[in-house]
């Protein structure tokens, strides 16, 4: 009974906060005001606090711009976590725009929707990414292209770094700073989560959203470590496959360090 009362309170408070911030965000979007970048961070921080997601940051967010964050992808909670740490814009697959609730939230945050199967639109999408980064926005890319079980980094799709390659000639200085970010869900109720229990935090694509969301609400206390790695400077003419390999290597090492307390061993 207490659990359901707490869940009800979370929903009511989050709904109230959304109603308060929504008009300001809509105004910012309508006139492209800078407040549209800041407001989502406050909403994400409140959402994380209400859901019991405790964020532990390791390292520092790169200060140089233009900046692209390349993060491993475990769950929809990654959006809340990264959005609570910094003012970011996410690169998302086109289908996300049509998702209930999450699609609306993504639009309100002015996410960049990419139609990966429509090559004729690639140019305009890349131009938008380059323009947003040149304007000082931090763009987040999940190069795995899907969510994992939280225990490992999946194979990274180097083609997704095409945005950085195409943007490099169009941004100041001709360089895009790419910073790997490892997201590791490590504890539940203060206890080590372990490989078996980590699916509580993870959201692989074959699990329905509603039951998973309800499970997170019931737990109410999840710790996540967010590690910012060493930035890679990507310049015009650089090989995006090399960038991909460097990013995935650093992501795997950082993820293993926070999940298992040891360095990742290259196979």
The mean pLDDT value for 220-242 works out to 92
Residue, of 232 and 217, whose pLDDT is higher: 232
Is pLDDT above 60 for 263? no
Q: In this predicted structure, what is the pLDDT of residue 201?
A: 78
Q: In this predicted structure, what is the pLDDT of residue 221?
A: 85
Residue, of 59 and 204, whose pLDDT is higher: 59
Q: In this predicted structure, what is the pLDDT of residue 256?
A: 92
- % the chain with pLDDT above 90: 52
Q: In this predicted structure, what is the pLDDT of residue 5?
A: 85
Is pLDDT above 80 for 266? no
Q: In this predicted structure, what is the pLDDT of residue 2?
A: 60
Q: What angle do CA 89, 186, 224 make, to 5 degrees?
A: 30
Q: In this predicted structure, what is the pLDDT of residue 64?
A: 94
State pLDDT tens for residues 53-67.
Answer: 999 999 999 999 999
Instruction: Report residue 262's pLDDT band, with 50, 70 and 90 as the boundaries.
Output: very low
Residue, of 225 and 155, whose pLDDT is higher: 225
Distance CA 80, CA 74 (A): 12
Distance CA 79, CA 29 (A): 19
Nearest 10 degrees: Cα torsion 257, 88, 75, 114: -120
Q: Where are the domains of the chain?
A: 52-260
Q: In this predicted structure, what is the pLDDT of residue 128?
A: 86
DSSP readout, the chain?
-HHHHHHHHHHHHHHHHHHHHHHHHHHHHHTT-THHHHHHHHHHHHHHHHHTEEEEEES----SSSEEEEE----THHHHHHHHHS-EEEEEEGGGGGSTTHHHHHHHTT-EEE-TT-GGGHHHHHHHHHHHHHTTPEEEE-TTSS---SSSPPPP-GGGGHHHHHHGGGSGGGEEEEEEEEEEEEEETTEE-HHHHGGGT---TTS-HHHHHHHHHHH--EEEEEEE---EEEETT--HHHHHHHHHHHHHHHHHHHHHSSPPPP-
Q: What does pLDDT average to over the chain?
A: 87
Is pLDDT above 60 for 144? yes
Instruction: Report residue 14's pLDDT band, with 50, 70 and 90 as the boundaries.
Output: very high
The mean pLDDT value for 77-89 works out to 96
State pLDDT tens for residues 34-60.
Answer: 999 999 999 999 999 999 999 999 999
Is pLDDT above 60 for 131? yes
Residue holding tokens 């460097």?
Answer: 246
CA-derived radius of gyration, the chain:
18
Residue, of 218 and 264, whose pLDDT is higher: 218
Q: In this predicted structure, what is the pLDDT of residue 108?
A: 94
Is pLDDT above 90 for 199? no
């Amino acid at each position: 009974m207490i659990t359901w009362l707490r869940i009800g309170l979370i929903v009511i408070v989050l709904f109230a906060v959304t109603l308060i911030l929504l008009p300001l965000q809509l105004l910012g979007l309508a006139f492209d005001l800078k407040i549209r970048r800041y407001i989502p961070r406050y909403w994400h921080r409140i959402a994380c606090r209400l859901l019991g997601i405790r964020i532990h940051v390791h390292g520092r967010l790169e200060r140089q711009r233009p900046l692209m964050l390349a993060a491993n992808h475990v769950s929809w909670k990654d959006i809340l976590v990264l959005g609570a740490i910094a003012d970011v814009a996410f690169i998302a697959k086109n289908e996300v725009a049509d998702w209930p609730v999450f699609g609306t939230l993504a639009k309100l945050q002015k996410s960049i929707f990419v139609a990966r199967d429509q090559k004729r639109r690639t140019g305009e999408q890349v131009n938008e990414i380059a323009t947003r980064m040149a304007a000082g926005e931090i763009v987040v890319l999940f190069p795995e292209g899907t969510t994992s079980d939280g225990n490992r980094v999946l194979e990274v799709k180097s083609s997704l770094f095409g945005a950085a390659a195409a943007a490099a000639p169009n941004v100041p200085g001709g360089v895009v700073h790419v910073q790997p970010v490892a997201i590791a869900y490590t504890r539940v109720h203060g206890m080590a989560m372990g490989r078996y229990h980590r699916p509580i935090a993870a959201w692989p694509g074959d699990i329905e959203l509603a039951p998973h969301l309800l499970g997170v609400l019931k737990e109410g206390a999840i710790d996540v470590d967010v590690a910012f790695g060493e930035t890679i400077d990507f310049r015009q003419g650089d090989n995006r496959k090399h960038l991909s390999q460097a990013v995935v290597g650093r992501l795997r090492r950082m993820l293993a360090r926070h999940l298992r307390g040891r360095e990742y061993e290259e196979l």
